[in-house]
Amino acid sequence: MTLSGNTIALEEEARVSARRIFSLISNELQQVEVEFERQARSNVQVIAYLGEYLRVSGGKRVRPALTILSNYAVGGDGSRYNSIRMATVMEFLHTATLVHDDIIDKADTRRNRPTVNALYGNETAVLMGDWLYMSAFETSLAERSLPILDILTHVTRKMTEGELLQLTLLGHADLSEAQYLDVLTRKTAYLFSASCEIGAILGTANEAQQHALREYGLNLGIAFQLIDDLLDFTADEAAIGKAAGVDLLGGKVTLPLIYLMEAYPDASSMIETVLRSGSYEEVNQKDLLEAIERTGSLEKARECANGYAERAHAALDALPITDYSESLRALPTYVLERDR
């Protein structure tokens, strides 16, 4: 697909926004790396090795960044140790979900590196994910904050519910948009929301600011995952480390496919065939991708993501204008235009 000049400009703007956002708190994010290494230490050799392996395999640290930026945005000090510690807890929880997701998805690689289950098997990966969860809760206890513990308990339960719901819906071509968004919100968006709200609490936000950041994170998280699912159809394989359309091979029907079946009912049989066989041997993958684009299903899914990004942006009206709140306002653009 040829990118228009406007699309290229937007993607460049997103890259500039990302550099500006993350450079603003680069020192704090470096402290998160140090704290991750500290929290992952263990006298059990395999845990120590895998903890470090997962740390260096990490992504952009979006969730810790949200905690730190939210803290600063309400007048707190995001460089304080308790802020860094809790930002790292959010990354531990995210990492634990990835380890368990890779087992469920039977994934051999993530970010072009072998997964824990590929290296050591499912049994070790399950226990490593559990260890990360428990370590996150153990660290968070140092805050002696019941509101924070309530949020962490709530988000962990929601993520587990989302994973279980997704398992029950795997391989179903008749997935509704509401069901899809429900799973997505539980699996991804609640952790974004918790990251922002905990940052707000640590920054002693007032009730209106805490609510605003909770809603901001929830809507940003939904937009983030919607774009992630769009990238499965549009991104270059080298950029995301997997081929186009691979989610469907794993039994996952995402929003572009839901919209495709609404616009072109005959596509249901194509999708059901791929779900049944787990391959594109009986269905031409290129034909499916072209149908998604031809029917406007990709654009409709992107418009859905745009709507949630706009809601995230609007939620920040309750915050004072600072470099940190402006960085939070810039994040939805980065999320919408990222290419990996």
pLDDT digits 0-9 by tens, 94-105: 999 999 999 988
What mean pLDDT is reported for the chain?
Answer: 90
pLDDT tens per residue, range 36-67: 999 999 999 999 999 999 998 878 899 999 99
Q: How far apart are CA 302 and CA 332, in angstroms?
A: 13
Whose structure tokens read 């706009």?
A: 310
Please give the model's pTM, rounded to 2 decimal places.
0.91
The residues facing 110 across adjacent strands are 113
Q: How far apart are CA 58 and CA 278, in angstroms?
A: 29
Q: Using alpha carbons only, what angle is made at residue 53 by residues 50 and 56, rounded to the nearest 5 degrees?
A: 150
- Helix (H) or strand (E) segment spanning residue 110: strand 109-110
pLDDT classification of 106: cutoffs 50, 70, 90: confident
pLDDT (0 to 100) of residue 4: 46
pLDDT classification of 299: cutoffs 50, 70, 90: very high
Segment 12-25 mean pLDDT = 71
Q: How far is CA 47 from CA 100, 136, 216, in A?
A: 15, 14, 35
All domains of the chain in start order, with CATH: 5-337 (1.10.600.10)
| Two tokens, residue 286 | 């290129």
Amino acid identity of residue 161, one-letter, is: E
Whose structure tokens read 């228009």?
A: 4
Asked if residue 24 lies in contact with residue 329, where contact means CB atoms within 8 angstroms, the answer is: no
Amino acid identity of residue 222, one-letter, is: I
pLDDT classification of 238: cutoffs 50, 70, 90: very low
Torsion of CA 199, 188, 309, 74, to 10 degrees: 0
Q: How far apart are CA 194 and CA 300, in angstroms?
A: 28
Residue 30, number of CB atoms within 10 A of its CB:
11
